[in-house]
Structure 1
Amino acid sequence: MNLKRLSIAIFAFGLCFLGCGPEPLGGELTLKVVAPNDDFASYELRQVQVSNVENIYQLQHANFKFLGGGLLEGDDMQNLLTSEVTPQSFATQTRSHFDQTLEPHLAIRDEVVHAQDFHSLMALSAFAGFEKIWGWYVNDIGDRSTATTEPGYVVFYGDIVPSNLLPVPMIQMDNAVYLAGVDVWMVFPVGNQEGVPYAMNQGVLAHEFHHRIFFQNVWTTSAFDRWKSILSATESLSASEQRNLNLLRALDEGLADINAIGYTKNIGFMEPSFHSEHLDVVSAELLGAESLRRNIESDFVDRATYDNLGDDSLEHALVDGCGVAQNFTTSGDILSGQAWSPYCLGSVVARTIWEGVGRDHQLLREVMLPAINQTLFHLGEVLGTDQDFDFDVFFQLLLESLPNTFDTADLCSEIATRFSSLATADRIPLCAF
């Protein structure tokens, strides 16, 4: 599916934010949406079944609801983080900035729900995707955290004013993100993206869904006060805490990718969105570099390791775009710098796990991903003690969570290759290096 560039004014698209729809329609419904084929390598308009709908005209499901518009400023988050709040009250208060009901333009024809314009089609397709992905994380992966037991919220075309609390630039076109703390997924409009919009790409949605699972398991339990203190810091973090945060972000991104691979059973789940035939040269180059870093079987990931990324020894033509080595001359460790992309090391994490299951999709889905899910809560307990984080902590917890019948030889071998300095220091005792 190839979508040409759409020039839009955000206030003019065909969605209603004010409660102007017909009587509620719910239950089990048939929707006409953009959905993946069986191999998740291509997408097309097709009919899908969704269950437990509360009101399709407002995109409300028993598990989640869509919200429309709204504006959140980083300073609003700052003020709340310096007060006594729980994860739940913090999310509720910040999410109130996106409290408008979303009502796409829909029509029923032959008992099938159809979108009447592109923006409504994108919202309806994302709705169908979230319904399927939610069920997969509960039924196949076994998540029982508040990520799947508490309602979820999807903000459609909202706006954010970044601040020091938002660790990465918020690209508000051609993007879909999970905003931790606020506890919402955000879907932004199509700008110059030519492939399948991220909101319609179920692999991307599965990736973003896992960010909620990571946050709710790791940070909102024993480690919430530590998370608050990191984000509400008025001065620069210490080098050690900045390094902790960088590595945890990389772990978060890597686990999101490997779960998306598990959901789609497709290493290249992002490729349907990475089309650049008609982009300008600069945009095409940026998209190509992103594709290289995110493909866990690319030349970059073939050669990247925890150590050669950290000590700046990987060929720069491959590592370009991962981060600025501004702190390397003083610290000797790029991973402790502020300008570091978590996706690069995240891809190394995902590749380690992929090799650890012998590139076996069934083993990944049925054994490895459920074990990773069980590991996350225990990781939160460790972080709650203010212990420094490095990947030996995660891998040791993961090895403890894997069933006794799982052969860890491939996983330990890959850890020894990709995280050599940790392995040679005997920091992962459950691996006999």
Structure 2
Amino acid sequence: MLRTVIATTAVLGLATGCAPDTSAPVKVRALVLSSNGEYTPQEVELKTISDIVGLSGNVADLHGGARIVLDFNDPDLQNATTPESFANALLKESGRDVTANYITQDGVLWPADFHTWNMVTTYYNLERAFDYFHDVTNIPTADFKEPVRTYYFPEFVLPDVDKDPLKDNALYFSANESFLILPFDQLQRAPLSINAGILAHEYSHRVFNLKTYDAQPFPVALSTWAAGGSSPGANILKSFDEGLADLHAYGSTCRSAHGCDTRFLSTSFHGGKFGSVTDDRDLARTDRCMTQSLRDNLRNMSLDQFSGYEYVVGTLLASALYQAGEATGQRDVLLRSIVAAYDDETVATPGLQQLTRQYLTDQGKFTLAVAAGAIITHVTDLRLKEAVCNELMDHLQIPRDLLVGTNNPNLCPASAAGGTTCPPLGNEG
């Protein structure tokens, strides 16, 4: 794939360059997944761009050359008393605006070097993720706040993990409300920023933070619940965040030319030691079940100890919801219902934000049934609600009597009986 880009750039180097028009929409070539599973240069429109050279616009603002260090032994971090001062302490080098290089051919801008290809594709994929959440899940434009600072190839250092800057990752970093597009090393086939599904996954984390955590850089529920020993509430929140991010990433692929892809990770995590990542998180698998050991870990581990398991529990949630949406033909309806469940002040149908606030002093009451109930109460179609209930009872092993709406008519209907795929674990809440 990279050889294709280099060859294309070499040919276009013979064309005549000129200062590009920066007014949106801008026609430009980006690396887009084609129907044959390869990333190829395709003409796209950037609809929200205001500076095509600096790659900034209403959705994102790319910034290069930054150095971000999260070291809890850093005196600057220890002395930070506000989210703003903490974010400033993280940023050891602020970096600069990026500069993209283009060649114009037939009114279309062609990136003239690899980093421009990568940055243009990054902006395009963030714009597609924005469009998905705006158009499919009905989030108003104003709710997204300002464009997201997107650090392109920063040095991101976590001394507790590795003294060297991290690579091969793309993430939403709530501590300074930014996306980090890290340099790639081993993931050469399709660097993560080129994979639209992966950036939609990261954009989902931003939406979850905006809605469930009220845009807090350091979510109160997570920090409060993680302060003690076992942290079941925090573990559930992290699992929901990861699982729903995969589900939304899948939903975003359904708007692409190559169609819905439950294995959207595969073009980046491909073969060898990476192949298992795709298999483990393929939403189309129907054999995923909560186990006793996983449920024990969810309940008894601290948030640090639970690290890694949030993907396992998250995949149980995501695949269960995927099956419900596909079986009823109401994928988009379900995706909208899920986002509506993040934040709702209605007494009869509280959202996840409101439930975490309600149980802030007793996270043991924020159970899987309570968290799942936030989604269930926002599904209004009876057939879809029944399907969601059946799948969650089965794959997450949530006891039926905790979800059937005897006291809350917005929960599961009496017709919901669970499923038979997974072996029962008992009637514990």
Paired residue for 2:207?
213
CA contact (8 A) 1:70 1:158 kept: yes
CA distance in 1, matches of 2:402, 2:75: 40
Paired residue for 2:14?
none
CA 1:29–1:23 in 2, change beyond 3 Å: closer, same or farther? Answer: closer
> Is 2:229 the partner of 1:239?
yes
CA contact (8 A) 1:217 1:376 kept: yes
> Is 2:243 the partner of 1:254?
yes
* Mean Cα deviation higher: 251-260 or 406-415: 406-415
CA distance in 1, matches of 2:95, 2:383: 46
The share of aligned pairs that are identical, in percent, is 20
* Mean Cα deviation higher: 219-228 or 288-297: 219-228
Paired residue for 2:394?
417
CA distance in 2, matches of 1:412, 1:170: 46
Q: How many residues align?
A: 378
SS of corresponding position for 1:357? helix
Cα distance, 1:109 vs structure 2: 2.6
| Structure 1 residues 242-271: Cα deviation after superposition (integer angstroms, max 9, x where no partner) | x32222111111000000111112111111
More helix by share: 1
CA distance in 2, matches of 1:57, 1:249: 37
Paired residue for 1:33?
30
Paired residue for 1:383?
356
| Structure 1 residues 321-341: Cα deviation after superposition (integer angstroms, max 9, x where no partner) | xxxxxxx7xx98568661531
> Is 2:269 the partner of 1:274?
yes
Structure 1: unaligned runs, 5 residues or longer: 7-20, 277-283, 312-327
CA 1:119–1:334 in 2, change beyond 3 Å: closer, same or farther? Answer: same
> Is 2:279 the partner of 1:292?
yes
Q: Normalising by structure 2, what TM-score? A: 0.77
CA contact (8 A) 1:66 1:153 kept: yes
CA distance in 1, matches of 2:75, 2:383: 45
Cα distance, 1:163 vs structure 2: 5.7
Paired residue for 1:325?
none
CA contact (8 A) 2:192 2:199 kept: yes
CA contact (8 A) 2:67 2:156 kept: yes
CA 1:340–1:273 in 2, change beyond 3 Å: closer, same or farther? Answer: same
| Structure 1 residues 97-129: Cα deviation after superposition (integer angstroms, max 9, x where no partner) | 544111123232322111122222111111111
Paired residue for 1:193?
187
CA 1:140–1:163 in 2, change beyond 3 Å: closer, same or farther? Answer: same
Match of 2:167 among 165, 173, 176: 173
Q: Which amino acid aligns with 1:107?
A: I
CA 1:306–1:97 in 2, change beyond 3 Å: closer, same or farther? Answer: farther
CA contact (8 A) 1:63 1:152 kept: yes
CA contact (8 A) 1:34 1:45 kept: yes
Cα distance, 1:294 vs structure 2: 1.6
Paired residue for 1:368?
334
CA contact (8 A) 1:309 1:334 kept: no
Q: Which amino acid aligns with 1:266?
A: D
CA distance in 1, matches of 2:91, 2:176: 6
SS of corresponding position for 1:154? strand
CA contact (8 A) 1:253 1:343 kept: yes
CA distance in 2, matches of 1:267, 1:214: 21
Structure of greater relative contact order (alpha carbons < 8 Å, 6+ residues apart):
1
CA 1:2–1:97 in 2, change beyond 3 Å: closer, same or farther? Answer: closer
Structure 2: unaligned runs, 5 residues or longer: 7-17, 254-259, 344-350, 406-410, 418-429
Cα distance, 1:23 vs structure 2: 7.8
> Is 2:53 the partner of 1:57?
yes
Q: Which amino acid aligns with 2:295?
A: G
Paired residue for 1:162?
158
| Structure 1 residues 390-413: Cα deviation after superposition (integer angstroms, max 9, x where no partner) | 321221111211224553221111
CA distance in 1, matches of 2:370, 2:77: 31
Paired residue for 2:121?
125
Paired residue for 1:108?
104
CA contact (8 A) 1:222 1:384 kept: no
CA distance in 1, matches of 2:109, 2:368: 47
Paired residue for 1:396?
373
CA contact (8 A) 1:198 1:205 kept: yes
CA distance in 2, matches of 1:92, 1:393: 37
CA distance in 2, matches of 1:192, 1:214: 29
Paired residue for 2:348?
none
Cα distance, 1:309 vs structure 2: 2.3
Paired residue for 1:348?
316
Paired residue for 1:426?
402
Cα distance, 1:296 vs structure 2: 2.3
| Structure 1 residues 217-243: Cα deviation after superposition (integer angstroms, max 9, x where no partner) | 112368966257459xxxx832333x3
CA 1:195–1:147 in 2, change beyond 3 Å: closer, same or farther? Answer: farther
CA distance in 2, matches of 1:224, 1:402: 29
CA 1:415–1:227 in 2, change beyond 3 Å: closer, same or farther? Answer: closer
Q: Normalising by structure 1, what TM-score? A: 0.76
CA distance in 2, matches of 1:376, 1:332: 22
Cα distance, 1:419 vs structure 2: 2.2
CA contact (8 A) 1:81 1:228 kept: no
CA distance in 2, matches of 1:392, 1:113: 51
SS of corresponding position for 1:107? strand
Paired residue for 2:148?
152
| Structure 1 residues 20-52: Cα deviation after superposition (integer angstroms, max 9, x where no partner) | x96872321111110123x69443211111213
